[in-house]
Amino acid sequence: MELGIIGQAAGLFAVTNIDDILILALFFAQGAGHPGSTRRIVLGQYLGFAAILVVAVAAAFGATFLPESVIPYLGLLPLALGLKAAWQAWKDHRDGSEDEEEEQTKQGGPGPLEVAAVTFANGGDNIGVYVPVFATAGASGMTVYAAVFLVLVAVWCFAGKFFATRPVIAKVLARWGHILLPLILITIGLLILIEGGAFGL
Protein backbone atom coordinates (compact mmCIF):
# COMPACT_ATOMS: atom_id res chain seq x y z
CA MET A 1 0.00 0.00 0.00
CA GLU A 2 2.89 2.36 0.83
CA LEU A 3 4.39 1.69 -2.62
CA GLY A 4 1.01 2.41 -4.18
CA ILE A 5 0.83 5.83 -2.47
CA ILE A 6 4.43 6.60 -3.50
CA GLY A 7 3.57 5.78 -7.13
CA GLN A 8 0.40 7.89 -7.00
CA ALA A 9 2.32 10.79 -5.42
CA ALA A 10 5.04 10.61 -8.09
CA GLY A 11 2.44 10.52 -10.87
CA LEU A 12 0.48 13.43 -9.39
CA PHE A 13 3.64 15.53 -9.01
CA ALA A 14 4.79 14.81 -12.58
CA VAL A 15 1.40 15.64 -14.12
CA THR A 16 0.97 18.90 -12.18
CA ASN A 17 4.56 20.18 -12.52
CA ILE A 18 5.69 19.20 -16.03
CA ASP A 19 5.88 22.86 -17.15
CA ASP A 20 8.24 23.69 -14.27
CA ILE A 21 11.13 21.88 -16.01
CA LEU A 22 11.14 24.43 -18.85
CA ILE A 23 11.00 27.35 -16.41
CA LEU A 24 13.81 25.83 -14.33
CA ALA A 25 15.93 25.28 -17.47
CA LEU A 26 15.48 28.97 -18.34
CA PHE A 27 16.42 30.02 -14.80
CA PHE A 28 19.51 27.78 -14.84
CA ALA A 29 20.49 29.19 -18.26
CA GLN A 30 20.07 32.72 -16.88
CA GLY A 31 22.31 31.87 -13.93
CA ALA A 32 24.96 30.02 -15.99
CA GLY A 33 28.49 31.07 -15.04
CA HIS A 34 27.40 32.87 -11.88
CA PRO A 35 28.75 31.33 -8.66
CA GLY A 36 26.00 30.19 -6.30
CA SER A 37 23.20 30.56 -8.87
CA THR A 38 22.33 26.83 -8.73
CA ARG A 39 21.97 27.03 -4.95
CA ARG A 40 19.74 30.12 -5.21
CA ILE A 41 17.50 28.53 -7.86
CA VAL A 42 17.14 25.25 -5.93
CA LEU A 43 16.43 27.19 -2.72
CA GLY A 44 13.80 29.29 -4.51
CA GLN A 45 12.17 26.20 -6.01
CA TYR A 46 11.98 24.56 -2.58
CA LEU A 47 10.63 27.73 -0.93
CA GLY A 48 7.92 28.10 -3.58
CA PHE A 49 6.92 24.44 -3.49
CA ALA A 50 6.99 24.32 0.32
CA ALA A 51 4.55 27.26 0.33
CA ILE A 52 2.25 25.32 -2.05
CA LEU A 53 2.41 22.28 0.27
CA VAL A 54 1.70 24.36 3.40
CA VAL A 55 -1.38 25.94 1.80
CA ALA A 56 -2.64 22.59 0.42
CA VAL A 57 -2.11 20.73 3.72
CA ALA A 58 -3.76 23.53 5.72
CA ALA A 59 -6.72 23.56 3.31
CA ALA A 60 -7.02 19.76 3.57
CA PHE A 61 -7.37 20.21 7.35
CA GLY A 62 -10.05 22.84 6.79
CA ALA A 63 -8.04 26.05 7.08
CA THR A 64 -8.80 28.58 4.34
CA PHE A 65 -6.27 31.38 4.80
CA LEU A 66 -5.90 31.48 1.00
CA PRO A 67 -9.49 31.76 -0.31
CA GLU A 68 -10.19 30.08 -3.63
CA SER A 69 -11.15 33.44 -5.15
CA VAL A 70 -7.59 34.71 -4.51
CA ILE A 71 -5.79 31.90 -6.42
CA PRO A 72 -6.39 33.35 -9.95
CA TYR A 73 -4.74 36.62 -8.85
CA LEU A 74 -1.48 34.74 -8.19
CA GLY A 75 -1.03 35.15 -11.94
CA LEU A 76 0.01 38.74 -11.21
CA LEU A 77 3.32 37.43 -9.76
CA PRO A 78 4.76 35.77 -12.92
CA LEU A 79 3.17 38.52 -15.04
CA ALA A 80 5.00 41.24 -13.07
CA LEU A 81 8.28 39.28 -13.09
CA GLY A 82 7.91 38.63 -16.84
CA LEU A 83 7.29 42.32 -17.56
CA LYS A 84 10.29 43.23 -15.39
CA ALA A 85 12.49 40.70 -17.27
CA ALA A 86 11.19 42.00 -20.63
CA TRP A 87 11.95 45.60 -19.58
CA GLN A 88 15.46 44.56 -18.47
CA ALA A 89 16.09 42.69 -21.77
CA TRP A 90 14.90 45.71 -23.80
CA LYS A 91 17.04 48.08 -21.72
CA ASP A 92 20.11 45.83 -22.08
CA HIS A 93 19.57 45.59 -25.84
CA ARG A 94 19.21 49.36 -26.13
CA ASP A 95 22.27 50.09 -23.95
CA GLY A 96 24.48 47.52 -25.72
CA SER A 97 26.00 44.13 -24.97
CA GLU A 98 28.67 45.45 -22.57
CA ASP A 99 26.04 46.81 -20.22
CA GLU A 100 24.12 43.56 -20.53
CA GLU A 101 27.16 41.54 -19.47
CA GLU A 102 27.79 43.95 -16.60
CA GLU A 103 24.15 43.70 -15.46
CA GLN A 104 24.18 39.88 -15.61
CA THR A 105 27.40 39.78 -13.58
CA LYS A 106 25.86 42.09 -11.02
CA GLN A 107 22.61 40.11 -10.81
CA GLY A 108 24.21 36.65 -10.79
CA GLY A 109 21.06 35.06 -12.26
CA PRO A 110 17.63 34.84 -10.61
CA GLY A 111 17.30 35.24 -6.85
CA PRO A 112 15.60 32.66 -4.60
CA LEU A 113 12.56 34.88 -3.96
CA GLU A 114 12.03 35.43 -7.69
CA VAL A 115 12.15 31.67 -8.34
CA ALA A 116 9.91 31.01 -5.29
CA ALA A 117 7.32 33.55 -6.48
CA VAL A 118 7.13 31.99 -9.95
CA THR A 119 6.98 28.45 -8.52
CA PHE A 120 4.21 29.37 -6.08
CA ALA A 121 2.15 31.30 -8.61
CA ASN A 122 2.57 28.63 -11.30
CA GLY A 123 1.56 25.96 -8.75
CA GLY A 124 -1.43 27.89 -7.44
CA ASP A 125 -3.84 25.80 -9.49
CA ASN A 126 -2.09 22.64 -8.20
CA ILE A 127 -3.42 23.47 -4.73
CA GLY A 128 -6.96 22.76 -5.96
CA VAL A 129 -5.81 19.30 -7.11
CA TYR A 130 -3.75 18.51 -3.99
CA VAL A 131 -6.39 19.47 -1.39
CA PRO A 132 -8.95 16.69 -2.09
CA VAL A 133 -6.15 14.11 -2.51
CA PHE A 134 -4.55 15.15 0.80
CA ALA A 135 -7.93 15.26 2.57
CA THR A 136 -8.73 11.67 1.59
CA ALA A 137 -5.18 10.38 2.18
CA GLY A 138 -5.23 11.18 5.92
CA ALA A 139 -2.26 12.39 7.99
CA SER A 140 0.04 9.42 7.23
CA GLY A 141 -0.79 9.48 3.51
CA MET A 142 -0.22 13.24 3.41
CA THR A 143 3.23 12.74 4.94
CA VAL A 144 4.13 10.27 2.17
CA TYR A 145 2.83 12.65 -0.52
CA ALA A 146 4.80 15.58 0.95
CA ALA A 147 8.01 13.51 1.24
CA VAL A 148 7.73 12.22 -2.35
CA PHE A 149 6.96 15.71 -3.66
CA LEU A 150 10.00 17.20 -1.88
CA VAL A 151 12.30 14.48 -3.27
CA LEU A 152 10.91 15.07 -6.77
CA VAL A 153 11.55 18.83 -6.49
CA ALA A 154 15.27 17.91 -6.39
CA VAL A 155 14.81 15.62 -9.42
CA TRP A 156 13.04 18.49 -11.27
CA CYS A 157 15.90 20.87 -10.41
CA PHE A 158 18.41 18.32 -11.69
CA ALA A 159 16.41 17.86 -14.92
CA GLY A 160 16.16 21.64 -15.42
CA LYS A 161 19.91 22.04 -14.95
CA PHE A 162 20.58 19.01 -17.18
CA PHE A 163 18.55 20.49 -20.07
CA ALA A 164 20.09 23.94 -19.57
CA THR A 165 23.61 22.50 -19.87
CA ARG A 166 23.09 20.34 -22.98
CA PRO A 167 25.22 22.03 -25.71
CA VAL A 168 22.39 22.39 -28.27
CA ILE A 169 19.79 23.54 -25.72
CA ALA A 170 22.31 25.74 -23.88
CA LYS A 171 23.16 27.48 -27.16
CA VAL A 172 19.47 28.19 -27.86
CA LEU A 173 18.83 29.36 -24.27
CA ALA A 174 21.95 31.55 -24.29
CA ARG A 175 20.79 33.19 -27.52
CA TRP A 176 17.04 33.40 -26.89
CA GLY A 177 16.67 32.93 -23.11
CA HIS A 178 16.39 36.69 -22.46
CA ILE A 179 13.33 36.68 -24.77
CA LEU A 180 11.90 33.26 -23.83
CA LEU A 181 11.92 33.78 -20.04
CA PRO A 182 9.81 36.99 -19.98
CA LEU A 183 7.54 35.58 -22.72
CA ILE A 184 6.88 32.36 -20.76
CA LEU A 185 6.40 34.19 -17.44
CA ILE A 186 3.95 36.67 -19.02
CA THR A 187 2.08 33.79 -20.73
CA ILE A 188 1.85 31.81 -17.45
CA GLY A 189 0.64 34.93 -15.62
CA LEU A 190 -2.04 35.67 -18.23
CA LEU A 191 -3.19 32.03 -18.36
CA ILE A 192 -3.57 31.89 -14.56
CA LEU A 193 -5.54 35.17 -14.58
CA ILE A 194 -7.76 34.22 -17.55
CA GLU A 195 -8.43 30.58 -16.57
CA GLY A 196 -9.23 31.64 -13.01
CA GLY A 197 -11.57 34.41 -14.18
CA ALA A 198 -9.60 37.16 -12.43
CA PHE A 199 -10.86 40.72 -13.04
CA GLY A 200 -13.94 39.19 -14.71
CA LEU A 201 -11.88 37.84 -17.65
CB proximity list for 72: less than 8 A, separation 6 or greater: 124, 192, 193, 195, 196, 197, 198
pLDDT at 87: 86
Per-residue pLDDT of the chain (201 residues; tens, 9 = 90+): 467 889 999 999 998 888 888 899 999 988 888 889 999 999 999 999 999 999 889 888 876 555 677 777 877 878 888 898 888 878 877 776 544 444 444 456 788 999 999 999 888 778 878 888 888 888 888 999 999 999 999 999 999 999 998 888 888 877 787 788 888 888 878 887 887 788 776
pLDDT at 147: 95
Question: How far apart (Å, rounded) are the C-alpha atoms in residues 37 and 55?
Answer: 27
pLDDT at 104: 44
pLDDT at 100: 43
The CA angle 16-19-25, to the nearest 5 degrees, is 135
Amino acid type, 57: V
CB 27 within 8 A of CB 178: no
Question: How far apart (Å, rounded) are the C-alpha atoms in residues 10 and 85?
Answer: 32
Question: How far apart (Å, rounded) are the C-alpha atoms in residues 3 and 7?
Answer: 6
pLDDT at 75: 79
CA distances from 108 to 26, 34, 44, 101, 193 (A): 14, 5, 14, 10, 30
pLDDT at 11: 92
Nearest one of 37, 54, 45, 47 to 146, comparing CA atoms:
54
pLDDT at 201: 64
